Amino acid sequence: MRTIPFLVLALAAQGAFAFEPFTPQVDAASLPQQARTWIEPNPLRGSQDAIAIGRIAFNQTCAHCHGMDANGSRMPAPDLRRLGLGCKRIKDDALRQRCTNDTDAYFIKSVRYGKQKFGIVHMPAWEPYLKPELVWSLRTFIENAPR
């Protein structure tokens, strides 16, 4: 019976991942209507409102694994401040925009659907708990988080 190692692995992983997703307590009413979309590019890029709202939401929902104020060093999950860093070095405007769009799409997909592999949940799907404008504000905050 060789399914036992998988069962043990699955149970161990579920035990290790005890974080349940929830809707953060943050007032996002000031975010613009056009941000209520999952389609990239990030409609809130550079918005100071989004940075402030994103920071509050991040520290309630993401910091558990990705670190307070997006400081992901020494955290179990990846340091999100490194996401899309390479795009900033691209000189060609069109290419840089495409690179940023690809990173935005990856970020949105990861947050909406989470990270699951072989039935093991490494990150929960946040779509039921976070509206698009809040996810974009998270992205905006991370992009501007101090390194």
Residues within the interface to another protein (CB under 8 A): 2-3, 5-6, 9, 84, 86-87, 89-92, 95, 98-99, 102-103, 105-106, 117-118
Distance CA 12, CA 16 (A): 6
CB of 87 to another protein, least distance (A): 7
CB of 105 to another protein, least distance (A): 7
CB of 18 to another protein, least distance (A): 21
Whether the CB-CB separation of 55 and 69 falls below 8 Å is answered with yes
Distances (CA, A) of 17 to 10, 12, 65: 11, 9, 10
Q: Is 11 or 102 the residue whose CB approaches another protein more closely?
A: 102
